Structure 1
């Protein structure tokens, strides 16, 4: 997979290193000469250019990229880069970094952003996930599917402790994708009983999140 990353700062370089380790081709783009440091990610391609300019993206051959990641420290630049990548070069997948939480609402398909990554939101979600038992915590939003990745830690008083996963009447279009238990990752099986303290990860539409949370809460009585 070929990936272009706009922004060769600490965030962009870290992403590049991980992608390269996973066998992908990476191009780092930055308009600041001081940021062009090939020795820091020697296996990446480097381009001194402004990702907000159409000519620069054409020079980068963005049309040959499978993914474009707009990872600069400037939200306006990330939006413009994503929009140009999607509308002018038809890049299949765009990821936009949100630096300021007040701008998160802009990072949508209307601006060419398939997935937005908001560091403040992720950090707050991780804090909530660490301290919340029985409460639904939204971890990630899938823009194209109008669905969210959510987590619920099963309370000891949940009515479904000890119930096989296949017998729990989860809401329609709600998918249990992973059970985290005792430091292990389990693929849910219909006959596998749920246990107190299980971290349950679901992909679920936003409109049924409340129903899911109420279903697994201690106050729910199975019909």
Structure 2
């Protein structure tokens, strides 16, 4: 997979190093010559260029990239890079860094952003996840599909403990994707029982999060939600 990263600062270099280590082809772009440090990641391709200029993006062959990461420290630049990558070069996947949470509402499909990553929001979510038991924590939003990655840690007295995953009537547009248990990552099957202390990771549509919270708290959806779920199926 070929990935272009706009912004060769600490964040961009860290992302590049991980991707290169995982066998991907990485291009780092920055207009600041001080940020170009080939020795830092010798297996990456480096380009001194302005990622907001079409001539520069033509030169680096952005249309050959599968993913573009807008990782500069300037939200305006990240939005422009995202929009150009999606509309001018048809890049399939665009990930953008949000520096100021006030600007987060801008980072959506209208600006070409598929996934917006807000470091302050992510850190806040991780803090909540670390201290919250028995409450739904939103970890990440997937813009294109309008779905969220949410986490719930089952307390010891949760009503769903002992039930099999396949026997639970999860809300529509909800998928239990991973169970974290005793340091293990479990891809759930219908016959797997739920245990106290399980960290459940769901991908769910925003509008069903309250149904999911009610189900995890009470062990069943409210009657109106059950009817809606049955109608959706």
TM-score band w.r.t. shorter chain: over 0.9
Structure 1 residue ranges, 4+ long, deviating more than 4 angstroms after superposition = 219-223
Over the aligned positions, Cα root-mean-square deviation in angstroms equals: 1.2
For the 8 Å contact 1:134–1:213, the answer to whether it is kept is no
For the 8 Å contact 2:160–2:219, the answer to whether it is kept is no
Give the Cα separation in 1 of the matches to 2:102 and 2:159: 39
Give the structure 1 partner of residue 228 of structure 2. Answer: none
Matched, 1:37 2:48: no
Q: Displacement of 1:157 after TM fit?
A: 2.0
Give the structure 1 partner of residue 18 of structure 2. Answer: 18
Give the structure 1 partner of residue 230 of structure 2. Answer: none
Give the structure 2 partner of residue 146 of structure 1. Answer: 146
Q: Secondary structure at the match of 1:26?
A: strand
Give the Cα separation in 1 of the matches to 2:88 and 2:220: 54
Give the structure 2 partner of residue 3 of structure 1. Answer: 3
Q: Displacement of 1:14 after TM fit?
A: 0.7
How does the TM-score come out when normalised to structure 1? 0.97
Residue by residue over 1:23-53, the C-alpha shift from the partner in whole angstroms, topping out at 9 and shown as x without a partner, is 1111100000111110111111111111111
Give the structure 1 partner of residue 118 of structure 2. Answer: 118
5+ residue gaps, structure 1, are: none
Give the structure 2 partner of residue 88 of structure 1. Answer: 88
> Paired residues, what number?
222
Give the structure 1 partner of residue 104 of structure 2. Answer: 104
CA 1:106 to 1:181, structure 2 compared with 1: closer, same or farther past 3 Å?
A: same
How does the TM-score come out when normalised to structure 2? 0.92
Give the structure 2 partner of residue 170 of structure 1. Answer: 170
5+ residue gaps, structure 2, are: 224-233
Residue by residue over 1:60-109, the C-alpha shift from the partner in whole angstroms, topping out at 9 and shown as x without a partner, is 11011111100000000000011011111111111100000001100011
Q: Displacement of 1:118 after TM fit?
A: 0.6
Give the structure 2 partner of residue 209 of structure 1. Answer: 209
Give the structure 1 partner of residue 51 of structure 2. Answer: 51
Q: Secondary structure at the match of 1:94?
A: strand
